Structures are given as C-alpha cells and as structure tokens.
Structure 1
Amino acid sequence: MIAEPSHNPFYPPLDLSPAHWVWLPSGRTLPGTFVLFRRPLAVRTDSVPVSTTGYILAESRYRLTLNGARIQWGNAPSDPRTPEADPFPDDFATALTPGMNTLGVEVCHFGYGDGTHPLGKPGLILRLSLTYADGVTETIATGDGGDWRCRIDRAHPPGRAKRWYLRALQEIFDARLHPHGWDMPAFDATDWLAPMLLPNVAANQSSLVSSYRDYAGDGGATSPDACRIRARCMPLLSETVSEAATLAAAGRLSWHESPDDWFDFRVPGAFTGTRDDAVAVPLAGGDWQLPATVPGESVYATFAWHEETLGFPRLETEAAAGTVIEILVSEAHHPESVTLLDTQFFNWTRMVCREGLNTFEAFEYEAFRFLQVHVRNATTPVTVRDVGVRTRRYGWANTPQIIIGEPPLQKLMDAAIHTLHLAAQETVCDGMARERQQYSGDVGHALLYLRRAFGETRLPARFLNTWAQGLTSDGYFLDTWPAYDRLNRLAQRQVGMTPWGPLLDHGVGFMHDCFHHYRDTGDAQALNEPFAALCRFVNYLAGLAEVDGLLPVENIGVPTVWIDHTAYQKQSDKRCAWNLYAVSGLRFAFAPLARALGEPERAAQADALAGRLLSKIQERYWDADRQLFVVNPQEKSEPRLCDRSLATALLYDFCPGNADAQCLAALAGNDSRMGRSYPANVVWNVWALIRHGRMDAVLADLRERWATMPSVLENNTLSEFWSPRRDSTDEWSHIPIAPLAAVFDGLAGVSPLETGGESLAVRPQPGGLAGFDIVTHTKRGAVRMTKSGDTITVTMPEGGAGLDELHLPGAAPAPEGAAFLGHDERFGLARYKIVAGSKVSFAWTAG
C-alpha cells in the first residue's frame, strides 16, 4: 500500500457572506414542502444598475423570479457536502425596473433521496450586489433584515409520498390554495413570517452543517470543515418555451374505482378506456376544448412531439373551480391500444384548477415525447391551450458537425447527438426519463464525445469531480453519485435485500475516464480530487484478490461486479472480463496518469498489480488450442465467450503472443457461443474492431442493429435496449454512444498522439462510405475531414510543434508532399508527417 495523496479542490470554496442560511421558522420540514420567499428590492430612480453579481443556493431546488417573471431554476445535482451555488444571470440588471421590484424564490425541500439528490437539510442562501452607473454598489442577502418574508405554499401539500424510488417529487398543485401574485410588488405579505436563521452554519458551508434537525433521516455533517459551498462551474442551462406539435389521440375513461386509487396504488381494473378523438374539439388559435365530465367519467387528450424532449411541462386552461387535471408524460406511446398514459414510473403531475384562467408549469423537468392532459371533476367544458414544454439545454462550446452521405446513418448520428443533448446537462446521465443518475462505466464513455463532438471540457471535468466524491470510506465508489440509489443499497446489501450494490467495474471505468480527460486536454488541475480518490480505489483493489490471484465477482460483500446486463449466463462468467478490465484500467489508465502527474511509485504499484492479474487471467481463461479467452473453462460443457473479454484483449494486446486472429474473427462475426453486450457496452467492440481495421464490421452493425432501433426512427434517440416497448418502463433515451465512436475514432480516426493532446494522429477508415464531412474537436482546435468520391481532405489546426501524423494503409498512395516517417508493422500502416494548420488531400482506394 502507498499512502494516499493530499488534494486541492478543482472548484474553490465560495463564501456568501454577509448572507446567512435561512428557512421557514419550524421544528421539522416534511417531504415535498414548498416554501415561498420574497423580498422587496428598491431600485434607484436617479440611476440604473449597470451590472449585478450574485449567487443563490437552495436545498433541494429553487425557482427564482423577479416581479413574477421566471429567471432561472436550480441547483445542479451535486454532493450535499459541497453544493454548487448558481450565479445570477449576466443580464439580470436589465430585468430590473426603477422603483420597487420583488425578488421571489420558490424552494422545494425534497425530503427524500432521488436520482439527482442524495440527501440534505432544507435552507436558502442568496447574495446579490447591484452596481449603478455612478459606481455605487448595494447588496441584498438572505438574513439581512431587509423585509424578507416567507410562508408555506399549501397549494403543494407537504408530506406527499415520493413518485418512485428515484424521483422524490410527485407534484400536486391546487391553484385554489396558491397565493397568486405573491412575487409581485403589489402583493401584501404583512401576515407572512420572517425567515429564521439556520443555526450553527456559516455562509461558506453546506446546509448539512446546520443544527436544524433532519427529522426523517437523522443525518448531518460529521466533518463541517469539509462541507463547503462551491461556485457553479459550468454555464446556466438555456431554456426555450415550445408547444406540442400535434394532437395524437383523445378519448373517455369510465372509472370503476376511485381515480385516486389508480394514481396512488394502481388498483387493477380501476377504469375502462375508449379512444374517441372527437372528444377534443379544435378552437381558434390552436386551443382545444374538452367536455364537462360526470362523476365516474373522465376525458383525455394526448399530444405528441416529433422527437423526444426534455424540460418542464406547461399548459394553460380555463376551467371551473375544482376541475382536476393530471399531466402525464411518456417517452413512447401507442394511442390505438393504450388510453391512459400512466405506464412509465408513475410520471404524473396533478393540478386542481381555480375558477377561470389557470397557468401551470411543472416544478421538475421531465423527458418525454407524449404528454397527456387527463381531465375529471369538470362541471363545465375545459379549454386547453399552449400545451408545451420549457426545454432545457446545455450551452455547448461548439455545434457538432457530422454529415454522412447515407440517410439511415445520418439519422442515426442525429439521434446520437440528440441523445447527448438530453442526457448531458449538469450531470451526465444514463437517461432522464428514469434514473437521471450519472454513472462511470457504461455512461462515462460519453465524456469522450462531449469533447470530440462539442469541444466541451467543462462538463466532463465536473463529471470527474462530482463522481469522485462518491468514494466510500472503504475505498470503493458509489457508482451513481451524486444520487440516493447507492446510499440506500449499502444497507440493503448488508442484509441480503438486493442484488444491486456499488459497482466495482465502474471504478475501473473511472480510471479510463480520468486518463482520457488528461490525455485529451492536459488539464491536471481538474484531476486533483479524482486522482486522490483513484489512489484509494487502487489500494482497495489490491486487497481484493483471492487466493487464486484473481479479483472475485462473487461474495465480495457490499459492492458487486456488473460488467453487463445481457452478455452472461451466470455471475461467475464475468470473472474473465472483470479481471481483464481491471488490468486495462491499472496498466493503461491509472499508471500512465500517475506518471504524468509525477507519481512514479504509484504507477509502478499499478503496473505490478496488473502484471500479476494478467498472468493469472491468461493461465486460467486463455484456451491455447482455440486461441480464445473462454469464460467458463472450469465447465465440461460447450465453451462460452463474451464480447467484452475479446474486445478488451484486442484493444490492449492481452492475447498471449498477440495471437488475436481468432478473437477478432469471433468478435466481428456471429459466433453462436458469444455473449453479446447491451447497447451501452457495444462501444468496446467498436473500439476493438476499429483498432484492428475492421470498419466494415462496425458499419454493418450500425446499419443492421443501430439505425433500425425504434427509438432512432421515432424519438430521435438511442435506447437502452435494442427493441424498447411502447407504454412500458423501457428507456427510449439512454446513452449508448457506439455510433459516435464509429464516427470520431473510426471514420475520422482523430486521437491524441501523446498524453496532453498537443500532438495528433489521424487514421481515417471510411469503410466504403462514398462521402462524409466530420469535425473533430481537440485541445488545439478543430480537425475537419471530408470525403468525396475517392478523395479525402484533412484540415489540421494550428500549433502542435509539427508533430502530427497521418496513418494510412501501407498500400495506399502517399499523400503529395507528405514526409514518410515509417511503418507500423502491427497494423500494416504507413506513417506520414502532417504540417500543423495545413490542408492535406489524398486518394483513398482502400475499403
């Protein structure tokens, strides 16, 4: 064992003094409690604010308004010990008016953990400074005594059950109980309460430090000095309001049980539905009218978008007081066979109308393509208008450019990019309709293509730092951090109540995530905390090997080994792939990263461990006669293979003597003995096939399996599994990024030639495609590659000290004027020097 390094945070702490943490005067806070905070804000009439600076942080989420107009929503999912405060937008000063303004903050305390929120204590802290044209600065802050007022919003009933395991908020909004206009200057709040200061917590600390009781979880900070507020490290998301494209269906329901029994409990046989599109009557201006209902009956109208979207559902209605409207969302729907849309993780939100006009926007965002308006208890007809969504999207550094002259492949790549728009926002998630959790392992691969497709480095750096904070005291990672899931699994695993535990293989994936980030960017500062966490994880792995010298996949204790959903018949079959994966991470990720960061002793430790493991793997799992890694050598039955073991061996030269021909043939073909990975892990196959020049097999798979995915054709997304079902809990937008690997690592073939990203290698593999136009973003800038007919043109970015290389098949004609550097005998390639900033064209006659 080697002592773990000290580290400095990549994101420095933020002190919000003179602000104080505040909250509703109370002794406990129920789950799902909404508290409204308002403060008058007087703006001088003799001068105008020319700039504002400020931060806001609330536990668990907030919606900020000025004079009743939405400003922003937050905070980003983060470790509750180190939450990130959001800045006020740059243009906030322009929203202020001379005279009296009102700042409103609607705060929801989840009270439950979910996929974006592990745990926390309630609170709000805010600081805002206004600078006028004459140079005078004024500051307002929570706890400043400046007539802050608050109250519980009983329109959102406190103490409701959570939506499901990984969604804390099941929103119910009764417009009859809401103090409408509460965030406008004219509102009378004299009977509201003055917020209380949260005790024993400073303005640079997380609300976890306060001595306000977490009455339900009884948790808090044991190391207050480690619970520091940080400034948001990425841009605020952009928001755009859009309306639904079409009415997909309408109909009637007859209820045999109370509708509440269905929505709360799923009582079977609660209703019978009939589609009847005439129920929704079109009105002028795009409005729709739904009829009045009688007790025991309800009506619905289902709206559809042309692709899956992500944001806050919204609508406007004119209805009688007491009309109940459920807003239900789903990724995929079959209007002909299913009436009520509530089939996917209880994805409903309820609004109870007041008399007349009602405007509603959900507090939480959703991922969906279908939105259903379900109406009951309506004593008069209901007018529905502006059914839409406030979409949210990350502010990318660049717009991706992938143009392929083959329509099905182009549609596939469009779906891959759109999937990243949905899944990568403040965290990088495996899908927003279900978990909204960020993983390493099968999800962390996406970081590569955030950099290459978008030129984005901020969001990957944040992923590395937030995910690393999920390291446990034992030395393994909570692989969904920051999220509630694995915290809950810790206790369940101790008493044998779940097969799901912290996934050790995701810790190995995190080695690759960290190394790839440094290889692509040279950004050592972003790896301060992640590298320290990785050192502890390597020490943990070193102590895990069993008497046979291999890492176990069974009887590990609390953590577990996953590797894949579909490739294995039994858990023991994963041991070959798991150990090969661990060797790849130790030898080709952690060790070179340690050397680059000036830690040679740690690199040597990792190399030695990798060497011991590889020797034992080859001894046990390498079938010398078949020249294959076999996952079940101890059985007398037909040998079983797995694509993950073969792909890892091909990528990192783990076949003894580089005898890899049979592994390559099995991986590229249709070997019946092969266990095949689910879509998110196919990227390993793609990388291995590309390395060995089998772009033909990659493109064949893209055409046959990927481009024909129902999610690609219907939702413009990549799904979790190959054939997702409509009206189910299947996830239609996940984050399998093998198609992007095929583009950037295969077709364009741009990669760093050395760690740090200063020098580049370009190895195009068109695979028979007639034409394409691809831009790959690198640390130095964009590399553009076009193919038209038999000519490929590469435009290189400036810089690089003249060390860039072009790698072509040995039989290919030499590019005009290119300096020959030598042969790569392993893969039959000729190496040529490329001049930085140049444009190189050459004939392509290979496949």
Structure 2
Amino acid sequence: MIAQISRLRAEHRTNAFGLGTATPRLSWWVAADGGVQAWAEIERTTARGPIVARIDGDEQVLVTWPFEPLRSRERSEVRVRVGINVGEGREQQVSAWSSALVVEAGLLERDDWASSLIIPSETADHSRCRPAWMLRAEFDLATAPVRARLYVTAQGLYRTEINGRRVGDDELAPGWTSYGHRLRAQAYDVTETVVLGSNAIGFEIADGWFRGHIGFDGGVWDLYGANVGVLAQLEVTADDGTIRRIDLDKKWRTAVGGTIATGLYEGESFDARLHPEGWSTAGFDDSGWMHPLVRPVESIDARIEHAIAEPVRQIERLAPVMVERLPSGRVRLDFGQNISGRLEMTVRGASGHRIRLHHAEVLEGGELGIRALRAATSVDEYVIGGGEVRTWQPRFTIHGFRFAEIENWPDGLDASALVRAVVLHTDMERTGWFECSDPNLTKLHDNTVWSMRDNFVDLPTDCPQRDERMGWTGDIQVFAPAATYLYGSGGVLSSWLRDLADEQHEDGAVPNFVPWVPCGFPEPASPAWGDAAAVVPWAMWQRFGDRGILAQQFSSMRAWVEHLASRADEDGAIRSGFSLGDWLDPAAPPEDPGAGRTDRYLVATAYLVRSSRIVAEAAELLGEHALRSRYHALADHTLRGFQDEHIARTGRMHVETPTGLSLAIAWNLFATEGQRETGGRRLSELVAEGDYRISTGFVGTPIICDALVQTGHIDSAYRLLLERECPSWLYPVSMGATTIWERWDSMLPDGRVNPGDMTSFNHYALGAVVDFLHRIVAGLAPRESGYRSFNVAPQPGPGIDCASTEHLSPYGPIRVAWQRDGDGLNVDVEVPFGTTAYIQMPGDDSPHIATSGRHRFSAAPSQPKGQICLLT
C-alpha cells in the first residue's frame, strides 16, 4: 500500500489553535508496509503561498519547527509527507501528503495585550461564598469580518457568551496556575458568532481558585488577590488583512445575576428568577447595571501565557443505575461510578420552588458519607423561575461523588430520566489499556484509570472531593509512569511543571503541593515529594520522547537535587530535616500517616541517589557533559553514604522493611549482586510473613512487585498482587470500589468509613502499581525514549492465564497479548512503523527483533526456543 500519514499534531495538543509558542514541534504517525523513513517534507502554507522544508532522517516525534517562528496571531496550514526506504535495495517510496493541520499562534508577547482588566466589584464578604458577577458590553461591526478572535484570561473563573451563544466549551477556565507568576489565556474563533451590525458580549466571572475558599485545616480566602477580573481582547480581521481591536473598555456594565453564591468546595446556588434573560444579546436593557472598575493590563504582575494543554471539558454523562425515594422525601441516586463533576437536571415547577443537591462518594450507615468531605459541604441549590422546562447544572463548582440526594425534587418528575452526572476533567486522549484473566485485577486497572481522570482536573491533584484537591508532588511523582501510559498527559504535566519551577524556593526547595496554599501543612520540602521536580520530566522523556521538557525543567531539576544534597551530612547520607517518609504505610497510626516502618531518612537518601542519577542522564542528553559528571559523582557519593548508613558489613540492611529492601533492589543501592539477591530473598520472606498483604506506603508500593520479580521471586509478586484481604490492592475492589482509595482501609470491612480525619475514596497514588501491570504482567516497556524501541517480555505468574495491553505510543499503536497454551506461551505483538520491538520469550537466550507489522511468538515445552511467524 502507499504509505499514509495520520495524526499530524503540534506539541501535546489535539488541535493547534491559539498556540503559545512560536516554534511548535510536530509529530505524526506513518502507516506503511515496512521500511524506514528516510526523510520528511513539511509544507507550510500561508497567505504568501507554500514553503517546503525537507528534514533528512527517521524522526517523526516532536520534530523541531523548520520554518521562521510564528508571529502573534499568525495562521498557517501544515502538512507532511515522507520518503520510505523499503527492501534490500532500499527502493524509495513516497507517501501521500497528510491532511492539513491548521496552526495558529495566540498572543505571544505581553505588548499584544492592549485591553484592560475589568473588575466587577471591590467588595468581598469573607464569611460566605460570593456571587458570580456578570459583565456585558455592546459593539457594532460595519462590515462582516473575515476572521474574529477572542483572547481571554481571568483572575477567577469565567464563561463567555456572544449574541446569546456560548463561546467555547471550556469548564473552570482559565484553570488553576500559580497566579502570582502566570495566568493562562485561551483563544476562541468567534468568526461565526459575531454578526454584521449590533453585537453583545458577556462574561460570568466567579472566585474559583483565585479568590475563593481553598485549602484544608480551615483553608484560606483571597489567596491571590482581593478582586476577580477578566481580560478580554476581541479582534476582527478585514478582507484586506487589517486587524482591528474592538475597544470595549468604557462599554462594560456589571451586575449580579442568578448565581447568587458559588464556591469550588461548597457548591453553587442559582436562582433562576434572578437570571436576566437575553443579557448577552444586543439591545438588552442594562441601564440598572453598574460601571465596573477598569485597570490597565500593567496591573497584572503575572506572565500571560496561552494554555499548552487541552482544557477541562464535560467528557461524558452518566445515567443513574439506581434511584430510590427515601423516607425523608429525598431522592437518592447511585451513578455506579465515583467521578469528578456535577449534576445536570431538567426540571419544571412553580416559581420559587427550591431544590438542593447533596453529594458523597460513599454511603455509611444508610446515609451519605459526608464526614470525610470535611469543610467541602458540596451542596448545590436551584430555585425554579417558573413556567418552562429548564436544564441546569452548576458552572463554577465541582464535586467528587458517586451518590447524590435531591432534596425537594418536584413531584411527578422522573429523576432517572431527568438527572445525569456530568464527568469533568482535562480532555486528555486515552492512550493505555489493560485486561487480564483475573476480573478483579482488570477492575483495579479500571479504577486507577477513573482516579486519574477524576484527579486530572486542570492539574494533577490528590483528590476531587474534600477540602483539599491540591497538586501534591508526591502523588504524581510515584504515578508519573502510569499517567504517561494511560493518557496523553504531556500538556497537563508540562503546564504543572512550569508552576513547580515558579513556586520553587531560591534554595531549590519544592513545596509539597503546587500551587502552594499556606493552609497549615508544613512548608519545608519533603524527599520523595520534591523529587517530582526530577522524576516527572524524566518520565515524560521516557514515555513521550520529549527532550524539550528536560530543557524546560533542567534548572529546576538541578536546583532540587542541590537542595536535597545540602541536607546531607558530609558522608552523603541524610539524617535530619522534614520528611514524610513512606507515607501511609498501613502500620502507621491513623493520626500520624508518616510514622511507617521504614526510616524516613533512608527514603530521603535513596531518593537523592535516584534523582542525582536522573539529572546526570538529563545533562548528558542536553549536552551538559560537565554537569553530567558532577551529578554522577554526587550520586556515587550519596550511594556510599547510603550503604555505610543502612547496610551492614554482612550485606544485610540494618533494618529490613519491605519498602527499604524494595528501594535498595529496584534502584541498585546494594554494593554487590550477592547482597541484592540476599535482599530479594529477605523481601520475599517478609512478604510471606505478612500473609501477602500490603506492608508499604506511597514510596514502596509502586516498586515492591518489581523488586520481587527482579530478584527471581515472581510467585511472591503475584501472590501479593492478587491478595484480597485488607490491606491489599484488591481489597477495595472486593468492597465495590470504583476508584483507588487514599488509605488501604478507607472503608472498613463492616462498611464503616475509616475514622481518621484524612480519608478519601479517590486518590490515584496507590494505583501506581498499574505500571507494573503494563510492563511486567502484560510485558510492554519502553527500551528507548518514546517507545522508539520497546521490550516485550511478559512474565506470567500464578493466577493469571492471559493478559493484554495496548498503548498509543508517539509512533503509533502498540499491542501485546499473551495466553498460556498448556505449559507454553503464545504472544501476539503489533509493532508500529518507525519502531523496533525486542521480544524476550521464556527459554530464549536473546530477544527476537521485530519491525512494523503483526507478529506471533510461541514457546512450548517441547520447543524451548521461541518461534516467530508474521501475521497477515
């Protein structure tokens, strides 16, 4: 067949509109019957005509922009074709051109922003949630524009309408960043929304993270400023190419509408009687509205950057799987899945009829389990305006819930048909799947996927439901390999890492959550948490092939390692300072989750070794050879300190815990292979002595199964993985969980919620084990960055008869599936163009090498060497 090019993309975006970079990197997939890409031609078409750049070589992932940098607002169409060398004679085949990708830059320079910040009101009541303000302005267009663009950012959350039509489909825009350092901006194509003649534009703006009540232990108000405001710039392009900014600064009017109170944690109250119909259309009577405050753009100290990730969107709607009328009169709904989102309902009734919506993750004692929500009351309220049937959902709040109760639901309306749970999270592309013969293990994987979805709401958070919802560094540090497999999360993580670098202290310390909220938690950086500065960019390099993220974050990576090294004693070991240790070790008391079995300074020193090694390798990739030597030397020095402090002369660790042994094995911290083997044997013994129940916390849980397999104890790893008694990965599954719990026993066997103050049913961190499912159980792991080459080496263990995984790699879909055949094993592999697979079958001395296509491998008792055949 003629080679085909598909999925031409810029950066980590599914579309390339409103880009915040002048030199977007390009990626594409190739479908061809074998061969090697010899060159690529990239054609860029502008109003001045086409330009073609030829790039020799086989790279097709995040390829450097080969043209002059884009200017602000500049629009181009880009397409690609490639030349492929095929056959022994290296005959060349030229692909068809790809479909065109429209690439358009946003406002790239601060001077491009000429509009003003519009502030609805300076008044603020700190005792309760505040209303959403409405802003409107009218303008005239004498001629129909060829193009119209709206560029927006806000201090607070906003939604936009033009001429009565909603602009965009973002939710919770512009998202949560370290607002003191940067604001994200969005660009909208409003060409079809504006009209010749009279027009109106309207904004609703609410507190959100900027000024709302956020944080735990009482939280804080007005963290980033006392006033919300919106910066909106509307530009129209005439047919001669002239761009005109519509000056709206003196035309704005403001009032409070139907959203009389709204808070991210508390919920939203909407009175439909107060909502001014037609408020965003021309001719609306706003004579009773006030003049807002107008501030020049210079009043914004933060950088203004266009978003580099897809926005939060309404992803799907779930119908209730159960509806019942309670004796109290409330209607209870079970949506069958714990989500992040909101309720949407279609209602009618008498004017003034008040409906309240209550949310919870679980039931306890026959009631909504709301104690664990702490101060996040999570109650929405809707007052019917009367007359027509209306569909409503809150706009500026979000909840974590599976169950909901509706108070005062109108008689005669069918809630099962008229109420839906709307799932909200960043609109990432799903890229990873897993199934196996054990339905509980498959369910564990599904639960982890849901927890990632629910916690990637603009940035990677710990939980979506209680008064917290922070960007905890430790959670994403351990989960990054899983996150980069399951979803195209490069945009979210790149954006969040910018905030991490912005929030980093001058001495390199990284706050324990980013953005930082001063709400009572200790501010000093913790090892394993701050190490996200090094580990997350490295995971993105390994899984996405994104060298650019290493360049972007290299200073931050170095600064963290230097900070951690400054806490070490002269011999390289860390023995003091703040450290959360192996957080949530099940042996730790509920009131002190960091007091686990493993020495917290063993954890700290181990992480310094690991992150120093990562920074050394990053330096090598970036051509910083002197720095590579420095950080390898630091890693070696710290390793000696670790060994002197924690490993006895006998080769045994002074204090043997499952987490300590796992760290030493998985990260090569033992001095000799013999010590490592002894450590593996002792780890297997400890796991057996614990009846194969979990005995690790945040640090040990992601790597304990790897440590067992690496030292030859695969049966122990599988028994640990498949255990169902508490604490275990499958205990929550046996209790009906649909997401990953924060604690191993967030719900006790008798159905009571864990009595501790810190209990969530939707944390992804302990689900980090799914990376083991992808790499070891199913057998797919990257060999080179971006899966340019990859290993296929399933390691079946007892209790699993078959497993499969699929990953949409940067080069194309990779599929691995295996099943037992008596004592033998059959493995099917699909290899995308541009990659090489190394398939290691049981009994083989060396791997088989396979290029693009579908392949089958078999290993049988009578045929110890793996056999290969090409599947058509």
TM-score category (smaller protein):
0.7 to 0.9
What's the CA shift for 1:530?
2.0
Give 1:590's aligned amino acid: V
What's the CA shift for 1:476?
0.3
* Aligned residue runs from structure 1 range 261-276, under 5 A: 276=327
What's the CA shift for 1:600?
2.6
Residue 115 (structure 2) aligns with: 19
**Residues 642/249 of structure 1: CA separation in 2 closer, same or farther (3 Å cut):** farther
CA distance in 1, matches of 2:111, 2:714: 53
Residue 279 (structure 2) aligns with: 182
**Residues 78/654 of structure 1: CA separation in 2 closer, same or farther (3 Å cut):** same
Give 2:695's aligned amino acid: R
User: Which of 740, 748, 758 is residue 718 of structure 1 equivalent to?
Assistant: 740
CA distance in 2, matches of 1:709, 1:10: 49
Residue 214 (structure 2) aligns with: 114
User: Which of 431, 450, 454 is residue 418 of structure 1 equivalent to?
Assistant: 450
CA distance in 2, matches of 1:343, 1:567: 19
What's the CA shift for 1:169?
5.1
Q: Is the 8 A contact 2:310 2:428 kept in 1?
A: no
CA distance in 1, matches of 2:804, 2:526: 39
Residue 308 (structure 2) aligns with: 233
Q: What are the superposed Cα offsets for residues 596-633 of structure 1, whole Å, 9 maximum, x if unpaired? A: 222233333322332222222222221344x43233xx
CA distance in 2, matches of 1:80, 1:415: 32
CA distance in 1, matches of 2:134, 2:377: 25
Residue 78 (structure 1) aligns with: 177
Residue 405 (structure 2) aligns with: 372
Give 2:563's aligned amino acid: Y
CA distance in 2, matches of 1:79, 1:460: 14
Range with greater deviation from structure 2 (424-433 or 706-715): 706-715
Give the secondary structure class of the aligned counterpart of 2:569: coil
CA distance in 1, matches of 2:400, 2:265: 16
CA distance in 1, matches of 2:393, 2:638: 55
Give 1:114's aligned amino acid: I
CA distance in 2, matches of 1:531, 1:622: 32
CA distance in 1, matches of 2:380, 2:807: 45
Residue 493 (structure 1) aligns with: none
**Residues 421/561 of structure 1: CA separation in 2 closer, same or farther (3 Å cut):** closer
* Aligned residue runs from structure 1 range 245-394, under 5 A: 245-251=320-326, 276=327, 299-320=329-350, 323-334=353-364, 337-338=366-367, 344-345=373-374, 346-351=376-381, 353-354=383-384, 356=386, 360-362=392-394, 363-375=396-408, 386-394=418-426
Residue 254 (structure 1) aligns with: none
Give 2:763's aligned amino acid: H
* Aligned residue runs from structure 1 range 434-449, under 5 A: 434=466, 435-449=468-482
Q: Is the 8 A contact 1:53 1:87 kept in 2?
A: no
CA distance in 1, matches of 2:349, 2:153: 36
What's the CA shift for 1:107?
0.6
CA distance in 2, matches of 1:696, 1:65: 60
**Residues 10/719 of structure 1: CA separation in 2 closer, same or farther (3 Å cut):** farther
Q: Is the 8 A contact 1:321 1:355 kept in 2?
A: yes
CA distance in 1, matches of 2:730, 2:851: 40
Residue 706 (structure 2) aligns with: 687
Give the secondary structure class of the aligned counterpart of 2:641: helix
What's the CA shift for 1:140?
5.4
Give 1:530's aligned amino acid: Q
Residue 103 (structure 1) aligns with: 201
| RMSD between superposed Cα atoms in Å | 3.7
Give the % identical residues: 20
Give the secondary structure class of the aligned counterpart of 2:445: helix
Give 1:603's aligned amino acid: R
Residue 776 (structure 1) aligns with: 807
Q: Is the 8 A contact 1:468 1:529 kept in 2?
A: no
Scaled by the length of structure 1, what TM-score is found?
A: 0.75
What's the CA shift for 1:540?
1.7
* Aligned residue runs from structure 1 range 802-821, under 5 A: 804-809=837-842, 811-812=843-844
Scaled by the length of structure 2, what TM-score is found?
A: 0.73
**Residues 95/787 of structure 1: CA separation in 2 closer, same or farther (3 Å cut):** farther
- For the pair 1:666 / 2:682, whether they are aligned, the reply is yes
Residue 434 (structure 2) aligns with: 402
Q: Is the 8 A contact 1:330 1:369 kept in 2?
A: yes
Range with greater deviation from structure 2 (650-659 or 450-459): 450-459
Give 1:771's aligned amino acid: C
* Aligned residue runs from structure 1 range 702-741, under 5 A: 702-705=721-724, 708-710=730-732, 714-725=736-747, 730-735=759-764, 736-741=766-771
* Aligned residue runs from structure 1 range 533-544, under 5 A: 533-544=556-567
**Residues 704/33 of structure 1: CA separation in 2 closer, same or farther (3 Å cut):** same
User: Which of 660, 666, 671 is residue 645 of structure 1 equivalent to?
Assistant: 660
User: Which of 857, 862, 870 is residue 842 of structure 1 equivalent to?
Assistant: 857
Q: Is the 8 A contact 1:709 1:718 kept in 2?
A: no
User: Which of 623, 633, 657 is residue 608 of structure 1 equivalent to?
Assistant: 633
Give 2:444's aligned amino acid: L
Give the secondary structure class of the aligned counterpart of 2:797: coil
Higher strand share: 2
**Residues 172/526 of structure 1: CA separation in 2 closer, same or farther (3 Å cut):** same
Give the secondary structure class of the aligned counterpart of 1:81: coil
**Residues 81/499 of structure 1: CA separation in 2 closer, same or farther (3 Å cut):** closer
Range with greater deviation from structure 2 (410-419 or 34-43): 34-43
- For the pair 1:151 / 2:255, whether they are aligned, the reply is yes
- For the pair 1:580 / 2:606, whether they are aligned, the reply is yes
Give 1:32's aligned amino acid: R
CA distance in 2, matches of 1:521, 1:352: 44
**Residues 454/247 of structure 1: CA separation in 2 closer, same or farther (3 Å cut):** closer
**Residues 446/548 of structure 1: CA separation in 2 closer, same or farther (3 Å cut):** closer
* Aligned residue runs from structure 1 range 479-494, under 5 A: 479-484=512-517, 487-489=518-520
Give 2:378's aligned amino acid: W
CA distance in 1, matches of 2:236, 2:733: 48
Give 2:738's aligned amino acid: N
Q: Is the 8 A contact 2:140 2:199 kept in 1?
A: yes
Aligned residues: 712
User: Which of 808, 816, 829 is residue 785 of structure 1 equivalent to?
Assistant: 816
Q: Is the 8 A contact 2:362 2:369 kept in 1?
A: no
**Residues 465/694 of structure 1: CA separation in 2 closer, same or farther (3 Å cut):** farther
**Residues 301/169 of structure 1: CA separation in 2 closer, same or farther (3 Å cut):** closer
Residue 36 (structure 1) aligns with: 134
Q: What are the superposed Cα offsets for residues 122-169 of structure 1, whole Å, 9 maximum, x if unpaired? A: 22111233457x567775557444x32212448525xx9xx7xxx565
Give 2:671's aligned amino acid: P
Q: Is the 8 A contact 1:303 1:371 kept in 2?
A: yes
CA distance in 1, matches of 2:215, 2:700: 22
Q: What are the superposed Cα offsets for residues 57-115 of structure 1, whole Å, 9 maximum, x if unpaired? A: 1111112234445443311211113434343455x544556665533211112424626
Give the secondary structure class of the aligned counterpart of 2:475: coil
Give 1:841's aligned amino acid: R
Give the secondary structure class of the aligned counterpart of 2:529: helix
Give 2:849's aligned amino acid: I
Range with greater deviation from structure 2 (763-772 or 56-65): 763-772
Give the secondary structure class of the aligned counterpart of 1:504: coil
CA distance in 1, matches of 2:470, 2:607: 23
Give the secondary structure class of the aligned counterpart of 1:442: helix
- For the pair 1:750 / 2:780, whether they are aligned, the reply is yes
**Residues 522/741 of structure 1: CA separation in 2 closer, same or farther (3 Å cut):** closer
What's the CA shift for 1:746?
0.7
**Residues 156/580 of structure 1: CA separation in 2 closer, same or farther (3 Å cut):** same
What's the CA shift for 1:439?
2.6
Q: Is the 8 A contact 1:129 1:140 kept in 2?
A: yes
What's the CA shift for 1:696?
3.5
CA distance in 1, matches of 2:502, 2:694: 34
CA distance in 2, matches of 1:141, 1:32: 31
What's the CA shift for 1:232?
0.6
Give 1:187's aligned amino acid: F
Q: Which runs of 5+ in 1 are unaligned?
A: 1-7, 210-226, 252-275, 280-298, 490-497, 632-640, 813-829
CA distance in 1, matches of 2:718, 2:487: 23
What's the CA shift for 1:538?
2.1
Give the secondary structure class of the aligned counterpart of 1:628: coil
User: Which of 212, 234, 242 is residue 128 of structure 1 equivalent to?
Assistant: 234
